[in-house]
């Protein structure tokens, strides 16, 4: 992961399993916007808001845990944990262990989907939660992370 010049003005945008397939995987559920486009939009919004956004994606829970640990003193983390939201205890513990606010985002409304998706082990330790807003939810989550960070620093 690249080192951030000023941790207090850096946000990690972290996407979990299968999100590398955005734009082609189940477009009726997730749309046709690619992960590259989502990252470009969030980085651009970050520039407008005066923060650096560092983007990462992994299909491995351990790699995601490492990335959250590395961002523990940053302004925050925008996290789409994908399926790990429902059973990723190590990811949950990483979120709970860091001082940086983590805002969880899901493209679809997980409560309008299969019942197994209705339970999140990560949401109870997140500083905020955005779901069902499509890829626009990432932009909302960035704004929420920055608000939570400002509240934390006040």
- 108 annotated ligand-binding residue: yes
Q: Is 154 exposed, middle or buried (0-12, 13-18, 19+ CB in 10 A)?
A: exposed
Residue 89 is assigned to a ligand binding site: no
Cα gap 145→113, rounded to integer Å: 26
Distance CA 50, CA 69 (A): 23
82: left (phi over 0), alpha (psi -120 to 50) or beta: left
Among residues 84, 106, 129, 138, the one annotated as catalytic is 106
User: Which run of H or of E encompasses 105?
Assistant: strand 102-106
**By C-alpha distance, which of 20, 24, 25, 60 is closest to 39?**
20
Helices (H), the chain: 27-30, 35-49, 61-70, 84-87, 89-97, 136-153
Task: Quote the Cα angle for 75-76-81, to 5°.
Answer: 165
Tell me if residue 106 is catalytic. yes
Residues recognised as catalytic = 30, 106
**Residues in binding site:** 80, 86, 93, 107-108, 117
Binding positions for substrate are 80, 86, 93, 107-108, 117
């Amino acid at each position: 992961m690249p080192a951030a010049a000023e941790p207090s003005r850096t946000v990690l945008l972290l996407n979990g399993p299968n999100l590398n397939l955005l734009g082609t995987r189940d477009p009726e559920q997730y749309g046709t916007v690619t992960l590259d486009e989502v990252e470009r939009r969030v980085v651009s919004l970050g520039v407008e808001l005066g923060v650096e956004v560092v983007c990462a994606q992994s299909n491995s829970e351990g790699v995601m845990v490492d990335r959250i640990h590395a961002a523990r003193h940053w302004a925050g983390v925008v996290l789409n944990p994908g399926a790990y939201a429902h059973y990723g205890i190590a990811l949950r513990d990483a979120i709970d262990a860091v001082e940086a606010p983590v805002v969880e985002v899901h493209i679809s409304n997980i409560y309008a989907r299969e019942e197994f998706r209705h339970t999140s082990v990560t949401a109870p330790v997140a500083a905020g939660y955005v779901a069902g807003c499509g890829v626009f939810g990432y932009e909302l989550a960035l704004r929420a992370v920055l608000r939570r960070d400002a509240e934390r620093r006040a």
